[in-house]
Structure 1
Amino acid sequence: MERKIMNDFLRWKKDINRKPLLLYGNRQIGKTYSVLAFGEKEYKTVAYINCENNYELLSIAKRENSVEKIVLRLALLVGEPILKKDTLIVFDNINDLDIVKMVKLFGKGECDYHVIMITSLKENLVKFKGEELQYKYMFPVDFEEYLKACNQNQLIDFIKDSYKNNKPIPFHQIAMDHFQNYLMTGGLPEAIEASFHNPNFAYLNSVHQKMIDCYKRSLLFMPTLIDTTRANEVLDIMPYQFLKPNHKFQYGLMREGSRSKDYEAAIDFLSNNNFVYRCYKVSNVGMPLSKFKDKDSFKLYPNDTGILFYQLHLNQIKLLQDDKLKNILYETSIANNIVSSGYNLYYYASEGKAEVSFIVQSRLGKIVPIELVNTNLSKAKSLTLFMNKYDIHEAIRVSEENFSLKKGIKYIPIYATFCFKEYL
Structure 2
Amino acid sequence: MSALSKRTVIIATAVVVAAGGGTAVALSRSGSDGTPKTNAAADATRTVTTTPAPPTTSAAPSATDSATSTATPGMSGSPTPTAATPTSGASGASGDPGAFADDGTTPLTQFPSLVKFSQALAGSSHVVTTIDPKYQSAAASAVSAKPLSAMVVLQADTGKILAMASNGPADLAYHAARAPGSTFKVVTAEALLRGGLTPSSPAPCPEKDKNYPITNDETSTVNLQATLRWGFVHSCNTSFTGLFDQAANTPVSQESTTYFGLNQPWDLGLGATLYGVDGGATANVPQAKGQDFAAELFGQGAITMAPLNMASVAATVDAGQFHQPFLVPGTTATAHAQPLNGTVDADLKSMMREAVTEGTASGSFGSVSPPVSAKTGTAQANGGEDSWMIAFQGDVAVACLVEDGGYGDKAAGPEIAAMLNAANGR
Which structure has the larger Rg? Answer: 1
Specify which structure has the bigger relative contact order, considering alpha-carbon pairs within 8 angstroms and separated by 6 or more residues: 2
Name the structure where helix makes up a greater proportion of residues.
1
